Amino acid sequence: MASIEQLKDFIVEAKSKTYVGGGITSPPSRAGSRDIGYQRDRWRYLDSYFGGTDFAGQETVWFEDDTRWAMNYFGRVIRPDLIDAERAGIVIKAALDTMYREKRHFLGGMEYRHAYGYYIDNSRGDTGHFSGREVIFVDGDEAYELDYRGGLIVP
């Protein structure tokens, strides 16, 4: 049986090796989805999402064949005159890479300054149950937003 700390450590590892780390995409699990996964030992992670500039997705973690954790998210560029999807992605990847390496966690409490914008991620809760929001400000205006929530899957 895996502990909550082992789960948290695997989530940080998987997130850093997939979207942030430029991981290899997997075949779509659903029509139109873009999937990127990671596996180590008895752990498996899948991030499956739809869209581009505006997007929705779900991250799921399994231990052996049991679903243990999931997170849903929806993000969008609010001000395309200030930031586009490519630049927002650059800011997000840089901020998350820093969070995973330096803080070894994946939930909120992060501010990151980048040439393309000021990233802020705030959340409440913990690995077991949480919700949060990440935003990018450009010249003081909110230009991008993403809301997320998730937690443990209990049978």
pLDDT of residue 155: 81
3-state secondary structure of 15: helix
Q: Could you state, in order of their start, the residue ranges of all structural domains in the chain?
A: 4-152
Q: How confident is the model at residue 24 (pLDDT cuts 50, 70, 90)?
A: confident
Q: How far apart are CA 135 and CA 122, in angstroms?
A: 9
- Average pLDDT over the chain, rounded to an integer: 96
pLDDT, tens digit, 9 for 90 and up, residues 68-81: 999 999 999 999 99
pLDDT of residue 9: 96
For the residues 127-152, what does the mean pLDDT come to?
98
Which residue in 115, 116, 133, 137 sits closest to 125, CA to CA?
133
pLDDT of residue 78: 98
Q: How far apart are CA 104 and CA 91, in angstroms?
A: 19
pTM summary value: 0.95
Q: In sequence order, what DSSP letters do the residues of 58-85 get, joined into one string?
A: EEEEEETTEEEEEEEEEEEES-TTT--H
pLDDT of residue 1: 65
From the centroid of its chain, how far is CA 114? Answer: 18
Which residue in 75, 68, 69 sits closest to 49, CA to CA?
75
Which neighbouring-strand residues pair with 132? 123, 148
pLDDT, tens digit, 9 for 90 and up, residues 39-88: 999 999 999 999 999 999 999 999 999 999 999 999 999 999 999 999 99
